[in-house]
Amino acid sequence: MPTVLGQNQYGKAETRVVRVTRDGPVHHIRDLNVSIALSGAMDDVHLSGSNARVLPTDTTKNTVFAFAKEYGVASPEGFAARLAHHFVTGQEAIGTARVRVEEYAWDRIPTPGPAGHSFVRSGRETRTAQVTFDGAGGRWQVLSGLKGLTVMNTTDSEFHGYVKDRYTTLPETRDRILATEVNACWRHAWDGGGEEDKDEWDEAFERTRGHLLGAFAETYSFSLQQTLYAMGSRVIEQTPGIDEIRLSLPNKHHFLADLAPFGLANDNEVYYTADRPYGLIEATVLREGATAAVPVDLTNLP
């Protein structure tokens, strides 16, 4: 049976790079996990075994380290954009480069003297960025995001009025804990403009994170779906440069512990949590008129 080569891409995945910038005794760190995926005129390597157009994945890994030294890491998005631009403009065979970055956050450890060089990994939250540069069209796509941002409201959450069939056992509640782990990915309207180093990426990230947290905390919730929409629309409404955000919110259920066997009342004070199964609430929120482009399945993003 004849076969044909379909979509293909290659590059080094998960290059871990830690960049230390020394400002006298005060050090700064950026801790990244970088994955490169290159595509273009790569038929030969698959079909004939000729490597004449193949920039080794090893080289793409080396480039990550070299760029960290030469240009520093102003932001995950800026670093990814610089790499994507480099591969597409530097290699004739490469038409498109997609660079994914995970960033792990570190806080300073307070010390009696001036805080300088001691850090502690903060939380389980991971910042994400994905930059794709299509050389033929000169088109950029910049996605920013986060995963593992765990939040909880201990009241202002109800869930009732839902469909009941013969298998429904869930009791209605007028006051429950609402907890989730925010996984989000948002798309910037950015056309490149040679601003790979644009350091506003960090500020934009913090603002968006703040909107997500603010909307979660301030929404009186009748479902996690409603909270999700409030979070997404707050980001879109407050940020002219973001037209689309996708949210994936596992419902981290908290159940009231049964204290009746001990003769104790449980007035919404003692809960147990179960990590699985969990409700998984997912949706994209768009500016009116915008076209959806953020992948529906965020689990495969960095």
In the set 252, 253, 254, 284, the catalytic residue is: 253
Cβ 224 to ligand URC, closest distance in Å?
A: 4
Report residue 70 as tokens. 């030469």
Tell me how many degrees the CA angle 208-213-214 measures, rounded to the nearest 5.
95
> What one-character DSSP code corresponds to residue 110?
P
Dihedral sign for Cα atoms in the order 210, 212, 214, 216? negative
Separation between Cα atoms, residue 5 and residue 285, nearest integer Å: 35
Residues in the chain, total: 302
Cβ nearer to ligand URC, comparing 208 with 251: 251
Query: Which 234-293 positions form the footprint of ligand URC (CB under 6 A)?
Result: 251, 279
Q: Is 12 a catalytic residue?
A: yes
Cβ nearer to ligand URC, comparing 79 with 159: 159
Cβ 281 to ligand URC, closest distance in Å?
A: 6
Q: Give the contact letters, 104-143, x = binds to ligand URC (CB under 6 A), - = no.
A: ----------------------------------------
Separation between Cα atoms, residue 106 and residue 95, nearest integer Å: 35
Q: Is 239 a catalytic residue?
A: no
Residue type, 235: V
Separation between Cα atoms, residue 301 and residue 98, nearest integer Å: 11
Q: Is 159 annotated as a binding residue?
A: yes
Q: Is 216 annotated as a binding residue?
A: no
Separation between Cα atoms, residue 11 and residue 270, nearest integer Å: 50
Separation between Cα atoms, residue 88 and residue 262, nearest integer Å: 68
Report residue 222 as tokens. 């009748």
Q: Is 23 annotated as a binding residue?
A: no
Q: Is 130 annotated as a binding residue?
A: no
Q: Give the contact letters, 149-188, x = binds to ligand URC (CB under 6 A), - = no.
A: ----------x----------x------------------
Region from 49-57, 66-74, 192-200, 220-228 binding ligand URC, contact rule CB under 6 A: 220-228
Separation between Cα atoms, residue 269 and residue 175, nearest integer Å: 11
Cβ nearer to ligand URC, comparing 11 with 250: 250
Task: Candidates 215, 224, 236, 301: give the one binding ligand URC (CB under 6 A).
Answer: 224
In the set 57, 117, 126, 198, the catalytic residue is: 57
> Nearest Cα to 212, choosing from 188, 194, 196, 236?
236
Region from 134-142, 181-189, 218-226, 285-293 binding ligand URC, contact rule CB under 6 A: 218-226
Q: What is the largest CA-CA distance in the chain?
A: 78
Cβ 168 to ligand URC, closest distance in Å?
A: 9
The residue with its CB nearest to ligand URC is 224
Q: Is 28 a catalytic residue?
A: no
- For residue 181, the cross-strand partners are 150
Instruction: Tell me which residues touch ligand URC (CB under 6 A).
Output: 159, 170, 223-225, 251, 279
Kindly list the catalytic residues.
12, 57, 253
